[in-house]
């Protein structure tokens, strides 16, 4: 009698375990489906950073002024990106002047302010828009490149930066710009990382050289720096950096690359 009760209890127990396993596997399938749906409808927050300002001047050469050009490109990029569903776009500055204290002796506070602003609006990504200048006026330096986070400390952030950078670079080269083989970090791809020589992340690995990139990585989101073209290269300057229409072409290229990376669809 005892044995048969034991058997019944065992069978009942097995049955209830099987039932609960089935229920939990059904639940996890449900949870996965819900997670997937949430991911598909997740709103992306893009923060565009028009590099430099009237306090922290960028490169200037002949009639080209980088801080103004970057602001044009950022506005055109925002305007184009807002044609897509599922994205909110902010800019770290909307005017010519520095909104982060305008300290002429240092750009550190300004750069920190830009990253903190991105964090405050829950940025998925911070995209800093720039143009380049060769200090030796080396005419062979031309075209576009994207500086991405290095693989240290948060390798996942490096991967995101690389994929997004490649997507934007493909659009920029479609406007006729070359891929820049930057002489500081030549690798032929136009997607580059640059390490700090002294700074380290909490795990002891080399920090990214650029403050925007290393501060954003420390706060947990990717930042990339898009260098559209060289003002010291005559072809780049005349054909890509001279008119509002040309800035619009660059801003639209950036936006298209961003939209393709995130799989956004037009409204």
The minimum distance between CB 203 and Zn ion, in angstroms, equals 29
Q: Which is nearer to Zn ion, 111 or 258 (CB)?
A: 111
Q: Is the dihedral of CA 238, 241, 247, 253 positive or negative?
A: positive
- The structure tokens 């639209």 sit at 252
Between CA 2 and CA 10 the distance in angstroms is 12
Size of residue set near Zn ion by CB under 5 A:
3
Rule CB under 5 A: which of 58-77 touch Zn ion?
Answer: 58
Residue among 226 and 264 whose Cβ is closer to Zn ion: 226
Q: Using the minimum distance from each CB to Zn ion, give the nearer residue, 65 or 80.
A: 65
Least spacing, CB of residue 39 vs Zn ion, in Å: 34
SS (H, E, C) the chain: CHHHHHHHHHHHHHHHHHHHHHHHHHHHHHHHHHHHHHHHHCCEEEEEEECCCCCCCCCEECCEEHHHHHHHHHHHHHHHHCCECCEEEEECCCCCCCCCCCCCCCCHHHHHHHHHHHHHCCCCEEEEEEEECCCCCCCCCCCEEEECCCCCCCHHHHHHHHHHHHHHHHHHHHCCCCECCCCCCCCCCCEECCEEEEEECCCCCEEECCHHHHHHHHHCCCEEEEEEEECCCHHHHHHHCCCHHHHHHHHHHHHHHHHHHHCCCEC
- Measured from the CB of residue 253, what is the shortest distance to Zn ion in angstroms? 18
User: Whose CB is nearest to Zn ion?
Assistant: 130
Q: How far is the CB of 58 from Zn ion (least distance, A)?
A: 4
CB closer to Zn ion out of 44 and 111: 111
User: Among 18-26, 32-40, 126-134, 173-181, which window interacts with Zn ion (CB under 5 A)?
Assistant: 126-134
Residues 158 to 197: which contact Zn ion by CB under 5 A? none
Whichever of 51 and 165 has its CB closer to Zn ion, that residue is 51
Give the Cα separation of 123 and 207 in Å (integer): 21
Dihedral (CA of 194, 130, 133, 191) sign: positive
Q: Judged by CB, which is closer to Zn ion: 84, or 254?
A: 254
Least distance in Å: CB of 205 to Zn ion? 26
Q: Which is nearer to Zn ion, 87 or 191 (CB)?
A: 191
Q: Give the residue with the Cβ less far from Zn ion, 58 or 257.
A: 58
Burial grade of 181 (CB within 10 A; 0-12, 13-18, 19 or more) = middle
Stretch that binds Zn ion, among 9-17, 77-85, 128-136, 195-203 (CB under 5 A): 128-136
Closest separation between CB of residue 183 and Zn ion, Å? 16
Instruction: Out of 93, 130, 154, 237, point to the residue binding Zn ion (CB under 5 A).
Output: 130
**Least Å from the CB of residue 250 to Zn ion:** 14
Of the candidate spans 86-94, 122-130, 166-174, 236-244, the one that interacts with Zn ion by CB under 5 A turns out to be: 122-130
**Residues between 30 and 59 with contacts to Zn ion, criterion CB under 5 A:** 51, 58
- Residues found near Zn ion in the complex (CB under 5 A): 51, 58, 130
């Amino acid at each position: 009698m005892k044995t048969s009760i034991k058997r019944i209890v065992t069978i009942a127990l097995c049955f209830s375990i099987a039932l609960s396993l089935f229920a939990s596997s059904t639940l996890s399938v449900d949870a996965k489906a819900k997670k997937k749906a949430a991911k598909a409808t997740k709103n992306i927050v893009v923060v565009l950073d028009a590099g430099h300002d009237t306090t922290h001047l960028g490169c200037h050469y002949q009639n080209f002024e980088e801080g103004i050009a970057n602001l044009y490109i950022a506005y055109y990029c925002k305007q184009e990106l807002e044609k897509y569903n599922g994205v909110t776009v902010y800019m770290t500055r909307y005017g010519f002047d520095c909104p982060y204290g305008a300290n002429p002796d240092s750009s550190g506070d300004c750069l920190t302010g830009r990253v903190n602003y991105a964090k405050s609006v829950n940025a998925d990504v911070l995209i800093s828009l720039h143009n380049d200048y060769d200090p030796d006026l080396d005419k062979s330096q031309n075209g576009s490149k994207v500086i991405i986070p290095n693989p240290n400390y948060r390798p996942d952030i490096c991967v995101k930066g690389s994929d997004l950078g490649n997507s934007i670079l493909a659009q920029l080269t479609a406007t006729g710009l070359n891929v820049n083989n930057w002489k500081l970090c030549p690798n032929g791809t136009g997607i580059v990382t640059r390490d700090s020589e002294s700074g380290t992340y909490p795990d002891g690995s080399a920090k990214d050289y650029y403050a925007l990139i290393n501060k954003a990585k420390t706060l947990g989101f990717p930042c990339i720096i898009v260098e559209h073209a060289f003002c010291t290269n005559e072809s780049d300057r005349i054909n890509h950096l001279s008119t509002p229409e040309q800035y619009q072409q660059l801003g639209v290229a950036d936006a298209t690359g961003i939209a393709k990376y995130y799989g956004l669809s037009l409204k």
